[in-house]
Chain A
Amino acid sequence: MNNGRVLEATDLKKSFGDIHAVRGVSFHIGVGETYGLLGPNGAGKTTSISMVSGLLQRDGGEVLLDGQSMTTTTLAPKQEIGLVPQDLAIYPDLTARENLRFFGHLYSMPKAELSKRIDEVLEVVGLSDRANDRSSEYSGGMKRRLNIGIGLLHRPKLLVLDEPTVGVDPQSRNAILESVEHLSSEGMAVLYTTHYMEEAERLCDRVGIIDQGEIKAEGTRRELIELIGQQDLIRITATGVNDATLADLRGLAGVASVSPTEDSLDMLVNDAGAALPEAMRVLTAHGSGVSSVTVEEPDLEAVFLHLTGKALRD
């Protein structure tokens, strides 16, 4: 282990001819942390994780997996990674159980442990009742879940998911996201690439915003938003608001402004999560009746736009 870091990628570089696909990408992931690489198609996400997973020879930089240097030929660090490729990587003529068993053998899992683990994984990805059907007969979402199941079969320390929800229906997508949340809560480190802002916001403890082969910014969602200086908007519909109430609200920490409108108050705050309970306390103390509250926070889409000058889906 390296300072509690499961993965440490430093200054990764990769070119294909004249195209510099990855230009000095660095990031790290700790135990139980979910790290997102958020960027549009062609930003360098897949190339970066290919180098992290030992699939692709890097031109420069270093990848340490649980303290061990990862290359295309080193085998020990590969044991610690579970890769879920963007495209389905399953054998359609085999059942889910057979697919899992084959890959389990490649990871040298003992027979008895493998059988037990296969049942566990089938349960996690919700395929227990279809385990003995050929995967060619599965829906797209079920195939995606099997794709993930293969990646986590051998209990890797780091699960690498490359845009696992592309082309998936909303129900299956939600099931996949729940699975990732579950794995993260159990202490598995996750590297998650996506160009869906909502997924990055929902799943990731930290996000690296990547574009044109470079990480433009990195941090928690809050840190990234603060980076661009935008504030949250709390809109409260309330009765019995007077000047004293407004003065107390304006005096709260982190509140930039309070603007009363015809039937509501608009509060610009640094952190809605911190300011809202305080605002409710003030309103209650002044006997104001609150009928509705809405919070509008700047999202990572806005951050990406600010940093790159283009939208995520451009």
Chain B
Amino acid sequence: MRHAWTIAKNDLALRARDRSIFIIGLVAPLALAFIFNLVFGGGISDVGETITFEMGIANLDGGPIGEAFAGVLDSIAADGRLRIMEFDTAEEARQAADEGGTGAVFILPAGLSSSVLGGANATIEVVGNVDAPTTTQVASSIAEQFALGVRTADLSVGTAMATGALQPQDAIAAAGEAGTAPPAIEIGAIQAATRQIDSATYFVAGLSIFFLFFIAGMAVTSMLEERREGTLMRLLAAPINRKSITIGKSMASVLIGLGSMTVLVITSTLIMGAEWGSPAGVALLVVGAVLAVVALMTFAGAFAKTAEQAGNLQSIVAVTMGMLGGTFFPITQEGLLGKLSLMTPNAWFMRGLGELAGGGISAALPAFFVLIGIAVVSGSIGLFITGRMVKP
């Protein structure tokens, strides 16, 4: 173990000398954190704040349907989620959308109400600015939801009239009210299979473990580089157990990985307001994830003959694990994909953080033990196979 530590220290010194330890362990995580910050527009703390969309309306209808739609927009605007501009003509509205004066505009054509109430098809036109795709999508959703509401109201009013509960003279007003009424049944949030961390922390955590794969790969690539440079022969000629070499290399990777993850967790917490959960629980999961990933990458790299081959193999493993483990986007827990997902340290790290968000340190223990299990199994096989690499 003493010799393994000597080799680990030497590896760390070499990585410090060629600056890769700073690039991989410090600069890159910080750069990632910075990019996350940019992506999430000023920080995670802003996510909970209201985003205000700018939209416009050219209501050429003048009937109850047009008024009802304007009422819907007004009610959203009253919540502060929408700022509405009104246009007198469709051309003005289109021009405003084209020139970016507003994110999207609704054009309600003349005769909209009479067409709808007469049973004919009618169209609410949504014109979006090319640089505001999100606003345009939201506008389209509002229009579609309103159209759905109108169809529901039409059906309800029709039924009421057929049964005599509603007089024809009251039908138009009733239809308008029905179209804007809140839904009778609210669907509550469905409880997920595991508790969830907020989306920004999710992406920071996901990408940090993805990045960890590349740090962990250094254990094997470093050994293959030593073989190429001839220093491995010197290590093999020394009176040390050959396993000390692979263990020492892995120790260096583990230390760099732990340092890098720590930097990322602290940085994202301080400058982005990320909420990782209980520090002890996070520490536990980080340790488990680092050990599991280093072991997996040792296993993956053991099949390579050169450092370049090892790098390619490890990249494939990192991306595959990232995709399956939900690093880039949440994936379903069902079916084959769900089962495959549970074979990755990425998924268990994310799951552990999710559990941690809803409970104490004990909630993270199952994920921690699975990560350690992955580390033990793949690490044992990896060290066994890398034994064949430890030759001149």
Residues in chain A within 8 A of chain B (CB atoms): 50, 53-56, 72-73, 75-76, 78-79, 81, 83, 85, 87-91, 93-94, 98, 102-103, 105-108, 134, 150
Contact = CB atoms under 8 A, between A and B. Distances in A.
A102 B7 CA distance: 8
Nearest to B235: A106
A55 B392 contact: yes
A78 B3 CA distance: 15
Contacts of B239: 75-76, 78-79, 106-108
Contact of A150 (B7, B17, B234, B242): B234
A248 to B, nearest CB: 58
A179 B237 CA distance: 22
Contact of A85 (B7, B17, B233, B391): B233
Contact of B238 (A56, A78, A90): A78
A148 to B, nearest CB: 12
B194 interface: no
A53 B233 CA distance: 10
Contacts of B52: none
Contact of B6 (A78, A83, A106, A150): A106
Contact-size category for B: 20 to 34
Nearest to B17: A93
Nearest to A82: B237
A75 B229 contact: no
Contacts of A75: 239-241
Contacts of B340: none
Given A85-B230, A106-B6, 17 more contacts: A55-B237, A72-B242, A75-B239, A78-B239, A83-B233, A85-B234, A88-B230, A89-B229, A91-B14, A91-B229, A91-B231, A94-B13, A94-B17, A102-B6, A103-B238, A106-B3, A150-B234
16 contacts: A56-B391, A56-B392, A72-B236, A76-B239, A78-B238, A79-B239, A83-B233, A83-B234, A87-B230, A89-B229, A90-B231, A91-B14, A91-B231, A102-B6, A106-B3, A106-B239
Contacts of A134: 17
A72 B387 CA distance: 12
B63 to A, nearest CB: 80
Interface string B217-251: 00000000000011101111111111000000000
A91 B230 CA distance: 9
B216 to A, nearest CB: 22
Contacts of B231: 89-91
A206 B11 CA distance: 41
A134 B235 CA distance: 20
A106 B3 CA distance: 6
Nearest to A54: B237
A208 to B, nearest CB: 21
A50 B392 contact: yes
Contacts of B95: none
Given A56-B392, A91-B14, A98-B13, A106 B238 contact: yes
A81 B13 contact: no
Contacts of A81: 237
B309 interface: no
Contacts of B79: none
Interface in B2-17: 3, 6-7, 10, 13-14, 17
B49 interface: no
A91 B15 CA distance: 12
Given A93-B18, A102-B6, A106-B3, A55 B238 contact: no
